[in-house]
Amino acid sequence: MNKVLLIDDDVELTTLLQEYLAEEGYDVATDTDGRAAIAAAAGNSVDIIVLDIMMPRMNGIEVLQRIRKLSQVPVLMLTARGDDVDRISGLNLGADDYVPKPCSPGELAARLRAILRRASQSVVGTSTDTLKAGRLVMHPGNRTAEWLGEPLELTGTEFSLLEVLARNAGQLVSKQDISKRAFGKPLTPFDRRIDVHISSVRQKLGLREDGQSWIQSVRGQGYQLLLD
């Protein structure tokens, strides 16, 4: 049973979501204070955190920043509908996905299943293989990676996305293919998740000797991981 921590100061909403998710087979705890999420991340006591951005005392963005200093536990953000700034900020800081409020319990449950599935198994290939692409080494079985011989810290979503590019290293992969293979769903219009996650992975890989990114983009088409 996956353990979910739901952080939101809207008690009525959290009660509704908690009851629904419990019926879906999740072990759900709730809290109104983001500090509970930080403690859970530090103690590795939950499988995923659902975090509202707009909260008193400490907002969700600040909480996410602190969580990512401690843990790569999956985090799904609850954002105000239409607020692209908060969504992009959350993804840039390592959130795995977001759901705009008000959200239906069914939509939230579906997003949780998708994130947890990505976190627990490889999106392609077997669970025991080692994937090598140039200077990148990935271990889908335990979802760890090394870059230039050093551990590469990736969120679950970043790992899934980079794995798709690594399995097609040197080739252009369309955004639609990335979305289907890494996230298990088709890309929707105006969805910037892939672009934001790619930006984060680029920062972690650094630049090539020629000053270019290791992940090249072809405008309107997709992305390509370079080998050399």
Q: Tell me, yes or no, if the two domains 3-120 and 131-225 fold the same way.
A: no
The per-residue pLDDT for 126 is 44
CATH of domain 131-225: 1.10.10.10
Burial 127-149 (b: 16+ CB within 10 A, else e): eeeebebeebbbbbeebebebee
Mean pLDDT within 81-101: 80
The per-residue pLDDT for 89 is 82
Indicate whether 192 pLDDT > 90.
no
- pLDDT tens string 122-135: 444 444 578 999 99
Query: Could you tell me the pTM of the whole model?
Result: 0.67
| Tokens found for residue 49 | 């955190």
- pLDDT tens string 43-87: 989 999 999 998 878 889 999 999 998 888 999 999 876 667 777
Residue 219 DSSP one-character state: T
Contact criterion met (CB below 8 Å) for 78 and 103 = yes
- pLDDT tens string 148-172: 999 998 888 888 899 999 999 999 9
Domain ranges of the chain: 3-120, 131-225
CATH of domain 3-120: 3.40.50.2300
Mean pLDDT (the chain) is: 87
Euclidean distance between CA atoms 188 and 180, whole angstroms: 11
Alpha helices in the chain (DSSP H): 11-23, 34-43, 60-68, 84-92, 105-120, 156-167, 175-178, 193-205
Local confidence band at 183 (pLDDT 50, 70, 90 cut-offs) = confident
